[in-house]
Amino acid sequence: MPFEFSLSPDQEAFRDAARAFLQKEVAPIVPEMDEKEEFPKATVRRMQEEGYFGISVPEEYGGLGLGKVGYCLFLEEVGKVDASHGVIVGAHTSLGTTPLLYYGTEEQKRRWLVPAAKGEKLLAFSLTEPGSGSDSGAVHTVAEKEGDHWRITGNKIYVSNGREADAIVLMVATDVKLGPNGGVTAFLIDTNQAGFAIGRCEKKMGLHGTSTAELILDHVEAGPDRVLGEVGKGFHVAMTALDVGRVSLGAASLGGIEAATQEAVHFSKNRTQFGLPISEYEAIQFKLADMAMKAHALRFMVYHAAAHQDRMGTDPKQWGRLERADKTREAAIVKCLASEWASEVIDESLQIHGGSGYIRGTPIERAYRDARISEIFEGTNEIQRLVISRDLLTRGL
């Protein structure tokens, strides 16, 4: 696997424009969004207008065609400003557009991917159920066959963008007995279909701008045109989307680490105790050094993994077994380390802020609440360690 990596002038220009846009248009609304616990409709609309909901989608399908590297550059910048916006973009892009781009038919791409990439439709992804979290193949929402159609019935929970989405990539059991090995199928459901309803929307510790919704499906009709990929192969579709999501979660965490580090540097230079700025004390300097080390290492890991996914392309049929295994292990490593480092760095930055870091409404207090979920969603870090260790025990380092 090649290790060299650098950004092109075009990629740098894209990142700089995105940074300016986010600082100007998104950053100012975040404190109120967090306090009111509202989905940030107006800024999401602006991001859609700018094409930021189709960064990694090829231009022929309405996207910006900037691949996973471009997408991660954007999420890193979003992560500096607000985690909620990052989750809204991520649930739509990594988890919503990836299944369509990688597994959709030409007709499905024209019908759902193009409007999603252009920002005309919002997507979500639904795997988790009350009885099926880490054991994500144990899906109990069922699709019963009626002629060449299915009727989908069941309950899904914790769906990011679930309340606002126009269409949802839904993992459903077409054969409960087979579980993930042939029994799960990916469907695409429009949220205005008969039999579809939104249930409870969770109140959360953080990510106050996102919805985390229950979906209730009561005999929702799905024809063959609603199946993404092959019947019974939905678990592969879900895991492919999650590999993309785990690397992009790493990019958003990197942005969070960078912002928390900058805030710690700024605060420590400006807070005087015992006659000196606290940045003059070694105990503080060592914390700052640890933050810089984590940001530095993570930057390489995220863009190495994103560039690897770009090189692999978007046709899973072209991937060899080893290439696929490398990608999955790498995504798990990035997700696990990025989320834990983000929690650690933000915690240390809050500590450097002293009591002021604990005051409701400060950026570091919000970041602390927002960061914790990254160790849990897109597969808990225990599950990432299982993925990594199983592959290590099979193939070695």
Positions touching ligand FAD (CB under 6 A) are: 91, 125-128, 133-134, 158-160, 204, 207, 212, 373, 376-377, 379-380, 382-383, 386
- Rounded to 5 degrees, φ, ψ at 227 are -85, 125
Structure tokens at 346: 């933000």
Contact 64, 54 (CB under 8 A): yes
Phi and psi for 289 in degrees, rounded to 5? -65, -40
Minimal CB distance to ligand FAD: which residue? 133
Annotated catalytic residue, options 164, 330, 365, 378: 378
What does DSSP say about strands 196-201 and 149-160: parallel, antiparallel, or unpaired?
unpaired
CB nearer to ligand FAD: give 49 or 382: 382
| Distance of closest approach, residue 116 Cβ to ligand FAD, in angstroms | 15
Q: What is the DSSP string of 131-176?
A: TBSSSTT----EEEEETTEEEEEEEEEEEETTTT-SEEEEEEES-G
Cβ distance to ligand FAD smaller for residue 101 or 186: 186
Q: Compute the least distance from the CB of residue 343 to ligand FAD, in Å.
A: 14
Q: How far is the CB of 332 from ligand FAD (least distance, A)?
A: 13
Beta bridge mates, 132: 129
Here the tokens at position 128 are 């988790």
368 token code pair: 């602390």
Backbone angles phi, psi at 385, to 5 degrees: -70, -30
Instruction: Provide the minimum distance between the beta carbon of 334 and ligand FAD in the complex, in angstroms, as a whole number.
Output: 17
| Smallest distance from ligand FAD to CB 67, Å | 23
Backbone angles phi, psi at 174, to 5 degrees: -95, -10
Whole-angstrom Cα Rg for the chain: 21
Comparing C-alpha atoms, which of 67, 68, 8 is closest to residue 331? 68
Dist CA 180 CA 224 (whole Å): 20
The SS3 call for residue 137 is: coil
User: Is-catalytic flag, 263?
Assistant: no
Shortest Å, Cβ 264 to ligand FAD: 26
- Find out whether 122 and 166 touch, Cβ atoms under 8 Å: yes
Is the torsion defined by CA of 99, 104, 106, 112 positive or negative?
negative
Residues taking part in catalysis: 378
